[in-house]
Structure 1
Amino acid sequence: MLPTDPAPGAADVLDRAALAGDVVRQVERVAAAMHRERQIGLAKLGLTPAVARALHELDPDRPLPARALADSLGCDKSNITALVDKLEQAGLVQRRSDPADRRLKTILVTDAGRRIRAEVRELAAEFRLLDGLTDAELGTLRELIGKVSNAACDGDPCDDAAAAAGAACGEVPAP
């Protein structure tokens, strides 16, 4: 007759697997809710995620060549052209000739772009989903998520630009 009880330690493995699965499902729910809330906030500002990401990557104090923006987003230059067109049409950036090499165009964040960029940054800090956490809990959550995030990258440059490259490069609907 075969034993019906799991081997010693097997229950611990099953409990850990169930716990990990529950954590993953909850993280996915939170991520989906945060994504939805961010989409709504960006839409209120007249931005798509791709356009907002491009604006975020620009340094308001230093004009940036389009090629450098493409590199930082992990995009093809042709996609950056469309993103910069949308930013320029919205009055958030201007294209200017590089004084050192007039053949190159640089992207300069306008005053309106600075204001909108600041509002986009505030969106991240205003997630009502986190309102129920104390400062200490928020700090602990940041540490734990950072630990998981760092493990996911496993020493690779796993930054936001690389993770968001598809979204930042792929869609370019009008803001």
Structure 2
Amino acid sequence: MTRRKQPLVPPGHVRRSYAERLPPGDALALETLFSLRATAQAIDNVVSRWLGEDALTPGRWQVLAVLWSRDRPVPQREIVDALKVSRANVSMLIDALRGEGHVSAIADPGDGRQVLVALTEEGRTITDRLVRDTARRLRATLALDDEELRRLVALTGRLLG
């Protein structure tokens, strides 16, 4: 992820097979898939190492970051929407975070079918530190300037679009 020479993704033999058997645009689309997945996995691995110091996973950290960005209890469905994952996945993450003392979860008094999730004091302290540390570390690891980061966010946003 830093500016050192990286192996080809996909490997050369896969690229050659694409080039021999597919139209150029299709081969490029598949190379892009390999590249995006390898990048996502590399970032996930790096962030997992950083968060491992606090026994967190990237998924748990994302839940904490969503809650940190709001200064109030958040309906669980808002976390589901923010992370673009299933309700069951968010429930498991919240259960783990509750067990670690980072979040609390209560029934919404206005709608008993909904669950409101909030950071505990311990969770807020840890999340505040992690948000700042992770941002600083990512800037250094990605080694992209602000304009490159803006373009990357715009391009990935189009892909998710």
- Judged with a 3 Å threshold, the aligned counterparts in structure 2 of structure 1 residues 95 and 126 are, in CA distance, closer, same or farther, namely same
The count of aligned residue pairs is 131
Match of 1:9 in 2: none
- Judged with a 3 Å threshold, the aligned counterparts in structure 2 of structure 1 residues 116 and 103 are, in CA distance, closer, same or farther, namely same
In structure 1, the residue corresponding to 2:116 is in which secondary structure? strand
Q: Is the 8 A contact 1:60 1:109 kept in 2?
A: no
- Judged with a 3 Å threshold, the aligned counterparts in structure 2 of structure 1 residues 99 and 120 are, in CA distance, closer, same or farther, namely same
> How large is the RMSD of aligned CA atoms in angstroms?
3.3
Query: Is 2:59 the counterpart of 1:50?
Result: yes
Query: Is 2:141 the counterpart of 1:129?
Result: yes
Query: Is 2:106 the counterpart of 1:96?
Result: yes
> How big is the shift at 1:84?
0.9
- Judged with a 3 Å threshold, the aligned counterparts in structure 2 of structure 1 residues 151 and 69 are, in CA distance, closer, same or farther, namely closer
Q: Of the candidates 145, 153, 156, which is equivalent to residue 152 of structure 2?
A: 145
Match of 1:85 in 2: 95
> Any stretches of 5+ residues in structure 2 without a counterpart?
1-24
TM-score by length of 2: 0.62
Match of 2:130 in 1: 120
Structure number with higher relative contact order (C-alpha < 8 Å, ≥ 6 residues apart): 1
TM-score by length of 1: 0.57
> Any stretches of 5+ residues in structure 1 without a counterpart?
1-16, 157-175
